[in-house]
Amino acid sequence: MVSEQQILEAANEIRRGGLVAFPTETVYGLGANALNAKAVSGIFAMKERPSFDPLIVHISRLESIHQLVEEFDERMLRLAEAFWPGPLTMVVPKSNLVPDIVTAGLSRVGIRMPANDIALRLIEASAVPVAAPSANKFGKLSPTKASHVKKQLPDLKYILDGGNTSIGVESTVVSIENDGFRILRHGAVTADELRKYLPESSEKETQVLKITAPGMMLSHYSPEKPVYILGEHPIPKDTSKAAFLTAGGKVPANYACFEVLSSNFDASEVAVNLFGALHRMEESDCEFIVAEPISETGIGIAVMDRLRKAAYRHHNL
Ligand code: TXA
Ligand code: MG
């Protein structure tokens, strides 16, 4: 799918201060050399991302974490051994080597090692940590395949095509704090799993990033069309121009089109298919999207979080 030559060319682009989109197991990332503030500013420009939203730094081997953190501690080691490479981002006190632009001026940096061979080879070949947000315009749908990246970032020259991502929703972001841990964003790694490896740490209440534009982060991952969640929003009577996203396989009558995210409410399956379906519905003739909810356990928590953020704008702003 991706040749060694393509990896080397993309790695050279990173080393030159340029941008490269690459697959991870969650969503595609838009990467730059995390230690080069100018390169990182290119990410914010291309994404039209506000400077208050920090980036995740991606590494390909555990040793690389030492240069990025103020202090490496036992809890980080435990989590890294348990979940890396994988969909877990640890937010920890940063070293001086990490430019402020990466962390949006915060004293802590998010770090993860992705479980994707192309991503790991790219980071290895670049020989620098790679800062990468999801490879979409700010606030829009996350990309789970290369064509999604092309659609939103048409000017980007380097896109490594690794096919469909295997998890489909962004990593769990966990903040490791002196007196406990806190989930900042839900993903495939659940609070229950984290608790097993942090038995001495109490879990603090989930918190979304404090930002200067109130309400903004509640609206995220948004398609251009209104999204309704069954049971949470009143559904317009006339659905003859609407799309239905089913998680259980059954589509009610009177919808123009539908997407089967899962035939039996399997949350992992829904996660894998969610953004792809929303991208297709965005491009379709349907006027709005109605989604069937799933139960909020395991990765179902992340799925419902993304759906609510996709729906937020239409119902609140
Ligand atoms: O799965 C993922 O995490 C993907 C792939 C590409 O790795 N990346 C991703 O990045 O979703 P992005 O930028 O779209 O979302 C990262 C989020 C930020 O919006 C913020 O909420 C949180 O992670 N975050 C990152 N660094 C942080 C920090 N220092 N403090 C608090 N939150 C942070
Ligand atoms: Mg994103």
How does the average pLDDT of the chain come out, rounded?
95
Assess whether the C-beta atom of 25 lies below 6 angstroms from ligand 1: no
Digit-coded pLDDT (tens) for 2-44: 999 999 999 999 999 999 999 999 999 999 999 999 999 999 9
Residue 247's pLDDT is 97
**Helix, strand or coil for residue 285?**
coil
pLDDT of residue 223: 87
pLDDT(119) > 90: yes
φ and ψ at 196, to 5 degrees? -60, -35
- Enumerate the H helices of the chain as residue ranges: 4-15, 37-47, 74-83, 100-103, 117-126, 146-152, 191-197, 267-283, 300-316
- DSSP three-state, residue 8: helix
Q: For ligand 1, pick from 89, 160, 204 the residue to mutate: most ligand atoms within 8 Å of CB.
A: 89
CA distance 299 to 211: 25
- Tell me, using a 6 A CB cutoff, whether residue 55 lines ligand 1: yes
- Of the candidates 279, 240, 286, the one whose C-alpha atom is nearest the C-alpha of residue 261 is 279
Counting Cα atoms < 13 Å in the Cβ hemisphere of 227 gives: 28
> Which pairing describes strands 180-185 and 227-229: parallel, antiparallel, or unpaired?
unpaired
**pTM for the complete prediction?**
0.96
State pLDDT tens for residues 264-316.
Answer: 999 999 999 999 999 999 999 999 999 999 999 999 999 999 999 999 988 88
Neighbours of ion ligand 2 (CB under 5 A): 134
pLDDT tens digit sequence for 68-83: 999 999 999 999 999 9
Cβ–ligand 1 distance for 109 under 6 Å, the answer: yes
Cα(3) to centroid of ligand 1, in Å? Answer: 28
Location of structure tokens 């069954």: 230
Cβ–Cβ contacts within 10 Å for residue 35, how many? 18
210 pLDDT tier (thresholds 50, 70, 90): low
37 CB less than 6 Å from ligand 1?
Answer: no
pLDDT for 209 equals 63
- Helix 300-316 and helix 267-283, axial crossing angle in degrees, nearest 10: 30
At 216, the pLDDT band (50, 70, 90 cuts) reads: low
Residue pair 8/166 in contact by the 8 Å Cβ criterion: no
CA of 2 to the centre of ligand 2 (A): 24
Please name which ligand lies nearest the alpha carbon of 162. Answer: 1
User: What are the tens digits of pLDDT across the range 219-267?
Assistant: 888 888 999 999 999 999 999 999 999 999 899 999 999 999 999 999 9
Structure tokens at 255: 């919808």
Give the number of whichever ligand sits closest to the CA of residue 220: 2
Query: What is the DSSP-derived secondary structure letter of residue 94?
Result: B
Ligand 1, atom 10, lies closest to the CA of 133
